[in-house]
Chain A
Amino acid sequence: MRTVDRALALGLTEAEFALVCAKLDREPNEVELAVFSLMWSEHCAYKHSKKLLRQLPSEGPRLAMGPGENAGAVTVGDGYVLAFKVESHNHPSAVEPFQGAATGVGGILRDIFAIGARPIAILDSLRFGDPESVRTRYLLDHAVGGIGHYGNSIGVPTIGGEVYFEGPYEQNCLVNAMALGLARADGLIRSAASGVGNALILFGAATGRDGIGGASVLASAELGEEDAAKRPTVQVGDPFAEKKLLECSLELLDRGLLVALQDLGAAGLSSSSAEMASKGEVGLDIDVSRVPLREAGMEPWEIMVSESQERMLCVTDPETVAAVLAVCEKWEVHGTVIGSVTEERVLRVLDGDAMVGEMPVEALVDDCPLYDLTPSPPTSALYPAPPCVLGADVTDPREILLALLASPNIASRRPLFEQYDCIVQSRTVRRPEQADAAVLAMPGGGAIAVSIDGSGRRVACDPYTGTVEAVLECTANLACCGAEPLGLTNCLNFGNPEKPHIAWQLTESIRGLADACRALEVPVVGGNVSLYNESGGGPIYPTPVVGMVGELPDAARAGRSGFAVAGDLVGFAGPFRPSLPGSELAKLRGEELPSSLPPLDIAALRAAQRAIFEAVRAGALASAHDVAEGGFLVALAECCLAGGVGAVLDLGATDDLERTLFGESPGSGFVVSGSPDALAAVGELVDLDVFGTIGGDVLDVTSGRARVVVSLDDLRGAHSALAPLFP
């Protein structure tokens, strides 16, 4: 086979191959071709998204580490920083959901401790098809199992997450995982290799033929007929190995033994070494014959691109090599000097004495061509209307409420999150279903709140506004806990960007993300892009997943979503302008997606959310919950369910009952409860109507001549609809 044909088979274009030859001044050999094809893959080079990502604001007074390192970080007081990042593992999870999801968690945790932070929490963001389908149930069950297996076993709590069920994810499920870590501000480490003559040490698991060409190739191409052939590349996660790797890495840092640290992710040794060299403006010599192998007879190129999990690279002074290896020994992880830092900015691959590859670092990391997209809005609907499961003739609000509570996107996630250890490390102040965001106590008595959000269906309706909504939904969740946003991470899950309307979705979505972050003054500290999420069934809904971290001064005053005190008043706050198109009710009714969503006044919403978080953190409100999927009545039911208590409310007459009760406008309406004085005080800062009182064991809502009365038991019954998925 001609080299150019091999390059094409490995995913390079003809022009890219020609450019590789030009950079090398010759044709690449086998090792070089393998390394270039991965380094220049979409997954590693971000060639279709890099230019767009430059719009995202990444500055702010609290920023400790911005995009470009393995994870970003913000300062959280008392000399601590909080690192966080979200990453996708979509394609591996579609092939083998348990191991795919597990290794996704393993990968994002390594990104966190690669910068020297101890992982303190995980969140997951999942998208699957219709839960009635056997395939979806299999994927979901195994993905949740895999996330739990990894997180639980390594001792990092999974404190939150989200899952949506929508048709377009049927053949392309999404599995995104977010991790957070805590470090002393002076304890962070970067990945830039430096110090000519310093030693390069590989430590962790032995290298096998795992996922050769796997993640990078999988994540850079549409899933097609040949999936089966890609299967032998399944990587198995070993959380026990990672636990030792984590403790070993942090001990090495604690002892001040490291110059640079980097995890091995997609493209294995190739990308980790090239990135370290590039950031440090140095070169690296790597002797693949020194890499501890799990399988005999591996070729140099296989060693360079293997995606075996649970491995790290570090740079250390020759004088401290022995000390580094001793720490590795203590934690029972292989530690091996595999190379050294060189002056000339070249990545040289040696196999013993033989030179088997020689590539300019710049060519590998910086010279992959970046492409401009050719966005064009679709002229007809891209997605079919969802199937109708609730007839338009059903107009009784009680019946609609119960149908919504039982619908897959709203029903309780308890059967999922009970499979996750949410309390290990003794920081969890708010667990799942106790509040709108997870809350973790911080060393100085304060706390952070974390939320992850992004409704692909709404982004499909309107990529710009839908993405703004995802950000505001996140900040609303934080506000309900009393937290002010500090920083944002994101994972952009989209279809094939070479297609004009996918390019348009991506462009509009990033524009929305940038505008929202700027208006809210929240820096984007990092993220990930997952493209080509398409299959025979068409593209996924465009799905930007937004993860956000906020802070509150007093952990003891973290907000709750559930009604807490019988006799307290219930109020509704915020400039809420609900609409039905694109809502969960519209979905249940099988309505077409609208081609736009009502624009949001970000500044007004920011002010309202500020009023909420100020009131919560002052201890004035006994509960706060934002109105999200399903609208106002569903939010009220959720407050009753979380508090285990009913409420009697009179909304007054309204001209459009269905829109009032079930219309949506993410991030803009809040159900709050508290004493009369407290609500009066909050009402000074934000539109607020008092509707009734907490108490009893029914939710009893009157509006004009309409009245809805539902017992807590009936609410609970409907809300438990997902339980049969996990028999």
Chain B
Amino acid sequence: MRFGVIRFPGSCDETDAVLACERVPGCSATLLWHGDADLHGVDAVVVPGGFSYGDYLRVGAIARFSPVMESVIAFSEEGGLVLGICNGFQVLCEAGLLPGALLPNEGLRFLCRQVDVEVVRSSMPFTADCFPGERLSIPVKHTTGRYYAPPAELESLHAHGQIVLKYAAGHNPNGSLDDVAGVTNQAGNVLGLMPHPEHAVDPLTGSRDGLKLFLSMAHAHG
């Protein structure tokens, strides 16, 4: 399986995401340039963390209009797997691929911290290698990670099982509603999350728990 990792001007974690994908047996990864609409036949797309276009104006706002994002939208509509991490999550929300928005952390500061994340739903392509309720130790690092959706929408996300990952009790770093850490679209082929699974793929640098997300994607692809 081949992952494509998007590179916007201002992306920071794209190389880390490539390294994470490459740790999955049988998988490779390539960088996709923001200005190139061609996805080069990749099997899944990762929209990585960072500060695309400086995150000026509003996080993710400018990146969503880049040529590559048009193709990502089309790719997702055909059922392709799209994983948005941190800034990537913000971009996917701005692009309308995921519900809700990300607001400044309650504490207003950038926060880099290892947190525990709970798998709410494991019957889906991104978390199939986890068991329900499993706690994953994954770092967060962001200033704008407070998940928000209007009350009715949030209800519906719960009802449709679209809340896939939650911060474990006492681990919510940013004031996200209902401790939401990661949400999926209705179809279940697009996942956005604020924690950085690509920074939890090797015990040497902290934890290996995040690798499960990439392994799950590979298994889903078959």
Q: Do chains A and B touch in the complex (CB under 8 A)?
A: yes
Q: A239-B51, A332-B9, A418-B112 are in contact. Are A423 and B56 (CB under 8 A)?
A: no
Q: Is A96 among interface residues, defined by CB-CB distance under 8 A? A: no
Within 8 A of A (CB), among B180-222: 196, 198-199, 202, 204-206
User: In the bound complex, do residue B12 and residue A155 qualify as a contact, i.e. CB atoms below 8 Å apart?
Assistant: yes
User: In the bound complex, do residue B51 and residue A240 qualify as a contact, i.e. CB atoms below 8 Å apart?
Assistant: yes
User: In the bound complex, do residue A555 and residue B10 qualify as a contact, i.e. CB atoms below 8 Å apart?
Assistant: no
* Additional pairs, 12, CB under 8 Å, beyond known A149-B110, A426-B16: A145-B109, A152-B12, A154-B12, A155-B12, A332-B9, A421-B12, A423-B112, A423-B196, A423-B205, A426-B198, A428-B206, A556-B204
Q: Is A429 among interface residues, defined by CB-CB distance under 8 A? A: yes
Q: Is B53 among interface residues, defined by CB-CB distance under 8 A? A: yes
Q: Which of B19, B56, B110, B206 contacts A152 (CB 8 A)?
A: B110
Closest Cβ of chain B to A640, distance in Å, is 20
Q: Is A6 among interface residues, defined by CB-CB distance under 8 A? A: no
CA distance A366 to B18 in the complex (A): 48
CA distance A421 to B53 in the complex (A): 18
CA distance A726 to B111 in the complex (A): 12
Which chain A residues lie closer than 8 Å to B13 at the CB level? Answer: 155, 424
Number of interface residues of B (CB under 8 A): 28
Interface centre among B12, B54, B112, by most chain A C-beta atoms within 10 angstroms, is B112
Closest Cβ of chain A to B200, distance in Å, is 9
Within 8 A of A (CB), among B46-86: 50-51, 53-56
Q: Which of A148, A240, A427, A429 contacts B53 (CB 8 A)?
A: A240
Produce 1/0 per residue, A396-423, CB < 8 A to B.
0000000000000000000001111111
User: In the bound complex, do residue B113 and residue A418 qualify as a contact, i.e. CB atoms below 8 Å apart?
Assistant: yes
User: In the bound complex, do residue A423 and residue B141 qualify as a contact, i.e. CB atoms below 8 Å apart?
Assistant: yes
Chain B binding surface SS class: mixed
Q: Is A441 among interface residues, defined by CB-CB distance under 8 A? A: yes
A–B pairs, 26, beta carbons within 8 Å:
A149-B110, A152-B141, A153-B12, A153-B51, A153-B54, A153-B55, A155-B11, A155-B12, A238-B54, A239-B51, A240-B10, A243-B9, A243-B10, A243-B51, A417-B112, A419-B110, A419-B111, A420-B110, A423-B139, A423-B205, A423-B206, A424-B199, A426-B16, A428-B205, A428-B206, A429-B204
User: In the bound complex, do residue A426 and residue B12 qualify as a contact, i.e. CB atoms below 8 Å apart?
Assistant: no
Produce 1/0 per residue, A427-463, CB < 8 A to B.
1110100000000010000000000000000000000
**Chain A residue at minimum C-beta to C-beta distance from B19:** A426
Which chain A residues lie closer than 8 Å to B196 at the CB level? Answer: 423
**Chain A residue at minimum C-beta to C-beta distance from B109:** A419
Instruction: Please provide the 10 A-B residue pairs with the shortest distance between their CB atoms, ordered closest to farther.
Output: A155-B12, A240-B54, A153-B51, A426-B16, A421-B141, A419-B110, A421-B112, A423-B199, A148-B110, A240-B10
Which chain A residues lie closer than 8 Å to B204 at the CB level? Answer: 429, 441, 555-556
Q: Is A331 among interface residues, defined by CB-CB distance under 8 A? A: yes
Q: Is A719 among interface residues, defined by CB-CB distance under 8 A? A: no
Q: Which of B12, B53, B109, B113 contacts A424 (CB 8 A)?
A: B12
Interface centre among B56, B109, B206, by most chain A C-beta atoms within 10 angstroms, is B109
**Chain B residue at minimum C-beta to C-beta distance from A558:** B204
Q: Is B122 among interface residues, defined by CB-CB distance under 8 A? A: no
User: In the bound complex, do residue A331 and residue B206 qualify as a contact, i.e. CB atoms below 8 Å apart?
Assistant: no
The size bracket of the interface on A is 20 to 34
CA distance A556 to B205 in the complex (A): 9
**Chain B residue at minimum C-beta to C-beta distance from A428:** B205
User: In the bound complex, do residue B205 and residue A427 qualify as a contact, i.e. CB atoms below 8 Å apart?
Assistant: yes
CA distance A238 to B196 in the complex (A): 25
Closest Cβ of chain B to A444, distance in Å, is 14
Which B residues have a C-beta under 8 Å from some C-beta of A?
9-13, 15-16, 19, 50-51, 53-56, 109-113, 139, 141, 196, 198-199, 202, 204-206
**Chain A residue at minimum C-beta to C-beta distance from B52:** A240
CA distance A417 to B111 in the complex (A): 9
Which chain B residues lie closer than 8 Å to A376 at the CB level? Answer: none
User: In the bound complex, do residue B9 and residue A425 qualify as a contact, i.e. CB atoms below 8 Å apart?
Assistant: no
Closest Cβ of chain B to A625, distance in Å, is 20
User: In the bound complex, do residue B112 and residue A420 qualify as a contact, i.e. CB atoms below 8 Å apart?
Assistant: yes
User: In the bound complex, do residue B9 and residue A240 qualify as a contact, i.e. CB atoms below 8 Å apart?
Assistant: yes
CA distance A241 to B112 in the complex (A): 23
**Chain A residue at minimum C-beta to C-beta distance from B11:** A155
Closest Cβ of chain A to B36, distance in Å, is 11
Which chain A residues lie closer than 8 Å to B16 at the CB level? Answer: 424-426
User: In the bound complex, do residue A726 and residue B109 qualify as a contact, i.e. CB atoms below 8 Å apart?
Assistant: yes
**Chain B residue at minimum C-beta to C-beta distance from A422:** B112
Which chain B residues lie closer than 8 Å to A428 at the CB level? Answer: 205-206
**Chain A residue at minimum C-beta to C-beta distance from B202:** A426
Q: Is A110 among interface residues, defined by CB-CB distance under 8 A? A: no
Closest Cβ of chain A to B97, distance in Å, is 24
Which chain B residues lie closer than 8 Å to A418 at the CB level? Answer: 111-113
Produce 1/0 per residue, A124-150, CB < 8 A to B.
000000000000000000000100110
Within 8 A of B (CB), among A232-251: 238-241, 243-244
Closest Cβ of chain B to A475, distance in Å, is 24
Which chain B residues lie closer than 8 Å to A238 at the CB level? Answer: 54
Closest Cβ of chain B to A502, distance in Å, is 37
Interface centre among B51, B111, B139, by most chain A C-beta atoms within 10 angstroms, is B51
CA distance A425 to B198 in the complex (A): 10
Which chain B residues lie closer than 8 Å to A155 at the CB level? Answer: 11-13, 50
CA distance A537 to B10 in the complex (A): 43
Which chain A residues lie closer than 8 Å to B55 at the CB level? Answer: 153, 240
CA distance A43 to B12 in the complex (A): 33
User: In the bound complex, do residue A153 and residue B109 qualify as a contact, i.e. CB atoms below 8 Å apart?
Assistant: no
Closest Cβ of chain A to B157, distance in Å, is 29
Interface centre among A240, A332, A556, by most chain B C-beta atoms within 10 angstroms, is A240
CA distance A331 to B8 in the complex (A): 10
Closest Cβ of chain B to A505, distance in Å, is 37
Q: Which of B15, B109, B113, B141 contacts A425 (CB 8 A)?
A: B15
CA distance A419 to B204 in the complex (A): 22
User: In the bound complex, do residue A240 and residue B15 qualify as a contact, i.e. CB atoms below 8 Å apart?
Assistant: no
**Chain A residue at minimum C-beta to C-beta distance from B55:** A153
CA distance A92 to B51 in the complex (A): 25
Which chain B residues lie closer than 8 Å to A422 at the CB level? Answer: 112
Q: Which of B51, B113, B205 contacts A429 (CB 8 A)?
A: B205
Which chain B residues lie closer than 8 Å to A145 at the CB level? Answer: 109
CA distance A726 to B110 in the complex (A): 12
Which chain A residues lie closer than 8 Å to B205 at the CB level? Answer: 423, 426-429, 441
CA distance A664 to B202 in the complex (A): 38
